[in-house]
A and B are shown apart, each in its own frame.
Chain A
Amino acid sequence: MTAAVVPARRKHMDWNRVRTIARTDLKQLAQARDFWLPMVALGAIFFVVIPTLLLVSLTKWGNINAVNQIGQALNALPDRAKAAIRGDTPSARTAYALAVFLFAPVAIVVPLTIATAVGASTIVGERERGTGEFLAHSPASVSEIYLGKLIASLIPGYVTTIVGFGMYSIIVNVTVGPKVGGWFFPTKEWWVLIAWVVPPFLALTLSLVLRLSARVKSTAAAQQAAGLVSLPLILIAYSQSTGALFGAANAGWYIGAIVWVVALFGLRRGMKSMSRNRLLGVGDEN
């Protein structure tokens, strides 16, 4: 009558279970409109509304004050970044610099905020609903549960980034492109930022947030604690992403590599800190 014959002790990860846990969490998230609508709004504001208003104001309406103010700020850019700026007019150059350099942190702030919000409630939420008991008694290993939860928390933030990045690219090319000789975005540095720097920052933040989620007693406490943890990370990510765009030619690659190493270490620690006790909410005496 046994469902499946398995060796008594199995060491390897069952990726089907990881996928199942992640998929089920995402399905539940999709049902929680009250949760994801604000997240979509956040992405829309940062990736679409603000860039559109600023870039249109610079390129179409020739907002002189804004051009002057941003132009002064651009003087502080490294020489390499200044040399890369394209455009024949001050407004075109300002719009180009704004699109390529100054909006970079948006790509970090949005996914980290969303991933933190999702991840904070993921384990403590199971406990609060009583479903942690189901997972604790299930054959899934704690590593499989942890990874499934991590992936389910990572995907909403990263998908928002990809979609937002796509829309941002279109807005930038449509508004600034004609002023600087055609579509130019994304630049190589932005590809590195999105594909190489953002994911490890997400993973690192989530490795900490999930540990918190497993330790605290309520979702509200998890959100509070996750905010405290993720805020410094967002600031670091902000500065590093800016550096990835402003710095030397391969700065993005180096920064990404370092964060990947730290993130993998964080994930390993996080996976080890997970226990069935925490799903049951009975402390961590074992």
Chain B
Amino acid sequence: MTIVCDAPITPVPSAGAEPTVSLTDVRHTFGTKPALSGCSFSARAGQITVLLGPNGAGKTTALRVVTGALTPEQGRVRVFGLDPTTDGEAVRLRCGVVSAKPALYDRLSGRENLRYSAALYGLNEGHAPIEETAARFGIQHALEQQVGGYSTGMKTRLALARSILHSPDLLLLDEPTSGLDPESSAAVLALIREQAAAGLTVVLCTHLLLEAEGLADEVVVMQEGASVLAGAPDDLMARYWPHPVARFATADPRHLALLSVQPGVIQTRPFRAGRVEITLDSFERIPDIVEALTKAGARVSAVEPFQPTLEDLYFAIRGLERGTMTVLA
């Protein structure tokens, strides 16, 4: 048997108001290499949508399509209800982007970088809130320094400050914590949360599962240019693990076979050497199962209720795709 759960692996559109960003079956190739091959997802106003996937999954290309920097060959893209291909300027004026590289001008000072952006987005020199924005990201003291001398963390903060300088409605972040130490990373993530709390719609690309775990209102898992799953993390967990799961270990692994015949056990599968993961109808069954095993002469060495994380979900999806998840039964 190769089935663990019956969750569909196609994105499920959420109900409600018109999303800020909506991609439907978007396809694009670079030469002969497909970069997006049926990418569909939506991002709702005021929420953080995380595009999750390995390198080369098409996350960056998807962001480029959102601003109209890249025109897809097929599919439908709508941002604020507009088509970025034909209404690019109107869309881009309402977007703030932080790309994977901070994309800053090293020979210019921090202030000059912010001024440049302000001018391109149509803010008058005197009206651009440069000082306030820099202060929000803790780089006001370095505004007169050449950016070439900034640390990676300062560059990321400056790039974030630049992205919100024109008060965008949509913030697009491509691996914003890439290359940062854990402290800077945490600070940047806190700043992103602040922006979302202030009402911005945020779309963030990452391959860091822990980062997504703490941030995401919605997760879109991407693989080989396609979105394979989308939804709120808790909903996705519930879809993948609709029943409680626990992990058992016994001194003699042969006793683990007894688990599959216990009342309340829906299915079992091997989990690492000498351990078995069981799906139950209720966690309340666990004491009875332990007692039954003990009576049968098994010495239970570990019982661990399983609380799935986004990381588990991610690997479960990728495992399903590869057909590597099997059950004992």
Q: Which residues of A contact B (CB under 8 A)?
A: 1-4, 6-10, 14, 16-17, 20-21, 24, 27-28, 31-32, 129-134, 136-141, 276-277, 279-280, 282-283, 285-286
| In the complex, chain A residues whose CB is within 8 Å of the CB of B82 | 8
Tell whether, in the assembled complex, residue A20 and residue B112 are in contact, meaning their CB atoms are under 8 Å apart.
Answer: no
Chain A residue with minimal CB distance to B63? A137
In chain B, positions 75-97 with a C-beta closer than 8 Å to chain A are 82, 86-90, 92-95, 97
Most central of B28, B29, B64 by chain A CB within 10 Å: B64
A134 and B104 alpha carbons, distance in the complex (Å)? 8
Contact check, A141 vs B64: say whether CB atoms are below 8 A apart.
Answer: no
Q: Which of B69, B102, B166 contacts A130 (CB 8 A)?
A: B102
Q: Are A282 and B70 in contact, CB atoms less than 8 angstroms apart?
A: yes
CA distance A276 to B93 in the complex (A): 16
Contact A27 B167, CB 8 Å, known A6-B93, A8-B82: no
Q: Is the pair B166, A3 in contact by a Cβ cutoff of 8 Å?
A: yes
Closest residue to B164 on the A side, CB-wise? A1
| B interface secondary structure, majority | loop
Given A3-B93, A137-B172, 10 more A-B residue pairs with CB atoms under 8 Å apart are: A3-B168, A6-B89, A6-B90, A16-B122, A24-B105, A24-B112, A131-B104, A134-B104, A139-B121, A280-B64
- B120, CB-defined interface residue at 8 Å: yes
Check if A20 sits within 8 Å of B119, measured CB to CB.
yes
Q: Are B122 and A280 in contact (CB under 8 A)?
A: no
Please provide the chain B residues from 88 to 137 with a CB less than 8 Å away from any CB of chain A in the complex: 88-90, 92-95, 97, 99, 101-108, 112, 116-117, 119-123
* Cβ of B67 under 8 Å from chain A: yes
In the complex the two chains form, is A286's CB within 8 Å of B108's CB?
no
Q: Give the CA-CA distance A190 to B171 in the complex, in Å.
A: 55
- Chain A residues contacting B112 (CB-CB under 8 Å) are 24, 27
Could you tell me if A28 and B119 are in contact, using CB atoms closer than 8 angstroms?
Answer: no
With A133-B103, A282-B30 in contact, do A31 and B70 touch (Cβ < 8 Å)? no
Q: Which of B82, B101, B123 has the most CB of A within 10 A?
A: B101
- B152 contacts the other chain (CB 8 A): no
Query: Total A-B residue pairs with C-beta atoms closer than 8 Å?
Result: 125
Task: Name the 4 nearest CB pairs between A and B, nearest first.
Answer: A130-B101, A3-B166, A134-B103, A20-B119
Asked if B70 and A280 make an inter-chain contact with CB atoms under 8 angstroms apart, the answer reads yes
Q: How far is the CA of A139 from the CA of B122 in the complex (A)?
A: 9
Contact yes or no, B108 A27, CB < 8 A: yes
B263 within 8 A of A: no
* Chain A proximity mask over B18-49: 1 for CB below 8 Å, otherwise 0: 00000000001111000000000000000000
Q: List 12 A-B contacts (CB under 8 A).
A: A2-B93, A2-B169, A3-B168, A8-B90, A9-B87, A16-B122, A27-B112, A31-B108, A133-B69, A133-B101, A137-B67, A276-B69
User: When the two chains form their complex, are residues B108 and A24 in contact, meaning their CB atoms are under 8 A apart?
Assistant: yes
Residues 55-68 of chain B: 1 if any A CB is under 8 Å from the residue's CB, otherwise 0?
Answer: 00000000010011
By the criterion CB–CB under 8 Å, are A28 and B70 in contact? no
Chain A neighbourhood of B169, CB < 8 A:
1-2
Min CB–CB distance B229 → chain A (angstroms) = 26
